[in-house]
Amino acid sequence: MAGSRKPLIAGNWKMYKTSGEGSVLVSDVVDAIRGTEDDVEVVVCPPFTALRSISTMIELDGLSIGLGAQDVFWEEEGAFTGAIAPRMLEEFSCRYCIVGHSERREFFGETDETVNRKVQALFRHDITPIVCCGESLSVHDAGNAESFVRDQVRGGIAGLTPEQAATLVIAYEPIWAIGTGRTPVPEAANDVARAIRATVGAMYGPPAATAARVLYGGSVKPENASMFFGEPDIDGALVGGAALVASSFADIVHAAR
Ligand code: 13P
């Protein structure tokens, strides 16, 4: 991690936890990460149905934890059954929204173009996108991870201002590392993180590249987190499975200090 960028640890709960279960998890997490506020930014991204209860907890109890959604639609409102608009996330003080997770690309037809429309829509509402990218095992094995990820990032973050680009969070999540227990060696993850940062720089200039945060995601656990956080271009983690267990998530937060 580089000194000027505040580490960010975000928990992607995926399709786990009801609203009630989510409230319990958040209060356990908050207890376990007490004292880390100044050093690490912590965000939870629960399912849509838990946003209201957790947002109320954050507001009433003054919790030092941020809230994010896992997806959004790009239109302001309209006849789009099942979709959620940025304004609806804004109402619950969502600071962040994950966009383009590989599971959304695989199961819900997300493309770099739809990712980009969502990213632009979020910025219109001052919600920071956490833009996901990452290669499949076959792309990885062919040695093409960096160029594949650069293309994904170029498409996903097109059409922003340099000021917007500077606030971006980009999560590098190799698909073969998600939920598998397999991870790249930290140096290899950092090489891709550096390539992502260079892409931001080529599009929006060096200040944006220096300010944007790049996270690593894919089987991050308390046992391996500090290895990734020791890398200069990795500014934190997007955590899946380990974010569902308060003590594991908290250990990862502590490792980022
Ligand atoms: P795991 O941490 O369960 O591998 O999931 C990573 C992920 O997809 C986070 O978005």
Q: What is the pLDDT of residues 209-251, one digit of tens each?
A: 999 999 999 999 999 999 999 999 999 999 999 999 999 999 9
3-state secondary structure of 45: strand
pLDDT at residue 2 is higher than 90: no
Which ligand 1 atom sits closest to the C-alpha of 178? Answer: 4
Structural tokens at position 247:
């003590």
CB 34 within 8 A of CB 246: no
For residue 119, what is the enclosing H or E element? helix 112-124
Q: Transcribe 9-39 into DSSP letters.
A: EEEE-TT---HHHHHHHHHHHHHHTTT-TTT
Mean pLDDT of 19-31: 98
3: confidence class by pLDDT, cuts 50, 70, 90:
low
CB 18 within 8 A of CB 50: yes
Residue whose CB lies within 8 A of the most ligand 1 atoms, among 178, 221, 252, for a mutation test: 178
pLDDT at residue 35 is higher than 70: yes
Predicted confidence at residue 205, as pLDDT, reads 98
Pocket around ligand 1 at a 6 A CB cut-off: 12, 101, 173, 178-179, 217-220, 238-242
Q: Which residues are catalytic?
A: 101, 173
Which CATH superfamily includes the segment(s) 8-256?
Answer: Aldolase class I (3.20.20.70)
Helices 19-32/246-255 angle, 10° precision: 40
1: confidence class by pLDDT, cuts 50, 70, 90:
confident
Distance of CA 101 from the midpoint of ligand 1 (Å) = 10
pLDDT at residue 143 is higher than 70: yes
Classify 143 in phi/psi space as left (phi over 0), alpha (psi -120 to 50) or beta: left
Which ligand 1 atom sits closest to the C-alpha of 103? Answer: 8
Structural tokens at position 254:
């502590």
Nearest to 6 by CA among 109, 128, 124: 128
| Spans of all domains in the chain | 8-256
Taking only the tens place, the pLDDT of each residue in 41-61 is 999 999 999 999 999 999 999
The average confidence (pLDDT) of the chain is 97
Place of tokens 């640890």: 9
Mean pLDDT of 82-107: 98
Cβ neighbours, 10 Å, residue 156: 24
Distance of CA 81 from the midpoint of ligand 1 (Å) = 28
> What is the C-alpha to C-alpha distance for residues 135 and 99, in angstroms, rounded to an integer?
16
